[in-house]
A and B are shown apart, each in its own frame.
Chain A
Amino acid sequence: MKVLATYNIKGGVGKTATAVNLAHVAAAHGNRVLVWDLDPQGAATFYFRVKPKVKGGGKAIVRGSLELGDAIKATDFDNLDLVPADFSYRHLDLWLDDAKKPLARIRRALRQVSDEYDYVFLDCPPSISLTSESVFRAADALLVPTIPTTLSLRTYEQLDRFVEENPDMVRELKILGFFSMVDRHKRLHRRFMNELRTAHPELLEATIPNSTDIERMGVHREPVGAYGKGSKPARAYEALWSEIQTRL
């Protein structure tokens, strides 16, 4: 089982869209996929039409008194399951802080379902906190959607630095950055992409366009590939998934 976390310190960069769409692509290829929505906003949960509630409470999962498997809900798509968000996840940092070995909590919870899934996508809230550190410890790779703007560049480099400075914490963690919400008509986007690629050649080639098709996920409440099969963004997520697999 590979654990992939969609992560960025900055919000509004397309983390949830990435988790939901890549999970859908991976499942459509016959992989057994789980999405764990760790963001109390519950956007991934909303996209899958699941009610944002963990029976027994999110705290119980973190504490280990509730099996992760008991919180899993199947989505409408074959091979694609979800651990829904719970508004109580806003206290996740506090629960972890109270727990013994907080950084191992998410990894330990995931171990319970390791035989059931090929890929787990963790949709993380934006921040660098105990929650993110626990996610870093659990994940095999961080998928970092990055908008080609100055602020995004700054946050990508912050993350890069954090990983470099904490080698024990992140161990084998791979950082897979890619450009998201790209508008190729904007000269600034093109310029930043060129500069960033020069500075960070490890960035993935595949890019996700800024598209109303992706924005419409909120209307359709399903992944782009479900209602816009063959559309430009659907093809972009296919290409991204294909490239991610070669890097894992």
Chain B
Amino acid sequence: MSKVRRYEVTAAGDFASVLAVLTDHLDLRLLSLDEGERSWLDTPTGTLERAETTLEFRRPSGEGTPSLTWATEGRVLVFDPCVSSTPPVYSSDLPDSSAFARLAALVDGGELVLGPTVNSQIAVLACLDDEEKTTARVIFDRSETLDGLALPMMLEVVPLRGYEDEAAALEKSLKRSVALSVSAASMKELAQQGVSTGLDGAALVPAMSAARAWRAVFQTLTDSMTQSFSGVLSGNDPEDLHAFRVAVRRIRTILQDGNDVVDPESRDRFRHEYRWLGDVTTPTRDADVHLIEFPELAATLPPSRREDLASFNEVLLRHRADSHAAMVTELRSIRRAEFGTAWLAFLADDDAWTGCADLADEPVLRIVLRRIEKANRQLVKNGRKIAKKSPAIALHELRKEGKRLRYLLECFAPLFDEKALSVILRPLRDLQDVLGEFQDTEVQANALLELAGELEGADDHSALMAIGGVIEQLGVRSADARSSFSKTFGRFDDRKVQRAIDQLEPRKKKR
């Protein structure tokens, strides 16, 4: 008998994005996609579990009738699509058929009790040969307990009898495209144990080891990245991509400041990959910003000139669609799947975080304060060097340094004295806003200039004139940002703020 192979999906991404990889990359045919509540039934003494078989009662969400499925090793022995709205209690409640009679015999007249219940999304897919014959089935399952605890996503490969070689080949392809780790437990067992995805991020406390704290921060950020991933692929809401990019940037920063805390080899590898991930999303984010801000910019033109921008708006929309399509291709690439797998495997691997670097076992507060002091020193030093005639690149670099400090403060915020943190963050965020405005307006002006070349008909003078007006407006904003830098930086480079840096360590409470 062909054995089902069970995997935990460790790839970053939600159900929809992994499903997209299965259908689009691996050419698996989607046979069914069900959503709803399901419960496992067994006798009080676990007769079915001992017989290595499962009985599921499913209640689909929305309309649809409940069903009962008896299965062994991923193979459905009997499926009744229309049973009573309540699960069977006695074997005599089972539907009347020869197959259920076999189940009744197995249960031997015993009572059936409700086991774990979860909310699930289950996709069944088929791997087809050149005759379009199914050679293996893939069951992709995302479930959460009724109190909302997300269970690890599971993927089962069910080889069909006589097609074991084809199933083995499919498994190889799956492992190349989706981050998987072999799982000994079934979804039923995970539901019974209430095993979470393990990405909940432990609460940060000053005394915990640096490695443990870094890992917890990464887990929280990875969760945030995962939550926005399907939205990034769908492209419906620019906020998803923004949230995704923020999480990516934060992970990069925390990796950068993870020297002597994170395993050096892994740190180098993942810094490189996260940089790539950030880069592949940049053109789409830029295009989003153009589209979001363009109406506001256009509004600064005289009403008669605004209409001239209609054709350019088309160019922006086209550019955004092209950028998004290219980004989705990259995000669904084998490179990203492999990197996602490796990243989650790294986070899940306890050994990779024990004695992995010189300072890994030091208390986190001491380490992170040192890194914050260093980042602050650098920001202050370079900020003081900025003069009216400093090149734009100097401000861009300063913005990066500001981000580094801000992310360190925000990601490890639970460790710090709240008041001191607030004193630092307020002027730091203002400074970042000014530097951001300066850079964004510059980038946007250059991009609009370039995109203007794509206007159909080079004689669209009125549109070109209107764009010129918009770019001029961006120039004004850029100049405003630059002129306000000195004052804003001064508020950060203030004795009170700088003293707060030294006061980040929470004061011990007096007895």
Contacts and interface: CB of A to CB of B under 8 A. Distances in A.
B162 interface: yes
B133 A76 contact: yes
B99 interface: yes
A30 B78 contact: yes
Nearest to B71: A78
A192 to B, nearest CB: 35
Contacts of B132: 49, 221
Given A49-B132, A78-B75, A30 B100 contact: yes
A79 interface: yes
A76 B129 CA distance: 12
A232 interface: no
Interface string A47-66: 01111000000000000000
Contacts of B78: 30, 79
Contact of A74 (B77, B98, B131, B160): B160
Contacts of A50: 131, 133
B134 interface: yes
B178 to A, nearest CB: 24
A49 B160 CA distance: 14
B161 A81 contact: yes
Contact of B162 (A31, A74, A76, A78): A74
Contacts of A76: 126, 133-134
The DSSP consensus for interface residues of chain B is mixed
Contacts of B76: 78-79
A74 B136 CA distance: 10
Contacts of B79: 78
A72 B98 CA distance: 23
A79 B162 contact: no
Interface residues of B, number: 19
Contacts of A30: 77-78, 97-100, 102
Contact of B161 (A73, A118, A221): A73
Nearest to B159: A74
B98 A73 contact: no
Contacts of B161: 72-74, 81
A29 interface: yes
Contacts of B100: 30
B163 interface: yes
Interface in A175-211: none
Interface string B74-98: 0111110000000000000000011
Nearest to B2: A74
A48 B129 CA distance: 12
Contacts of A118: 98
A4 to B, nearest CB: 15
A202 to B, nearest CB: 25
A206 to B, nearest CB: 19
A30 B100 CA distance: 8
A30 B95 CA distance: 11
Contacts of B162: 71-74
A115 to B, nearest CB: 12
A48 B160 CA distance: 13
Contact of B98 (A31, A48, A81): A31
A211 to B, nearest CB: 24
A77 to B, nearest CB: 9
B126 A79 contact: no
Interface of A: 29-31, 48-51, 71-74, 76, 78-79, 81, 118, 221
23 contacts: A29-B97, A29-B99, A30-B78, A30-B99, A31-B99, A49-B133, A50-B131, A51-B131, A51-B133, A71-B162, A72-B162, A73-B161, A73-B162, A73-B163, A76-B133, A78-B75, A78-B77, A78-B79, A79-B75, A79-B77, A79-B78, A118-B98, A221-B131
Given A29-B98, A74-B160, A74-B163, 16 more contacts: A29-B99, A30-B97, A49-B133, A50-B131, A51-B131, A72-B161, A73-B160, A74-B161, A74-B162, A78-B75, A78-B76, A79-B75, A79-B77, A79-B99, A81-B161, A221-B132
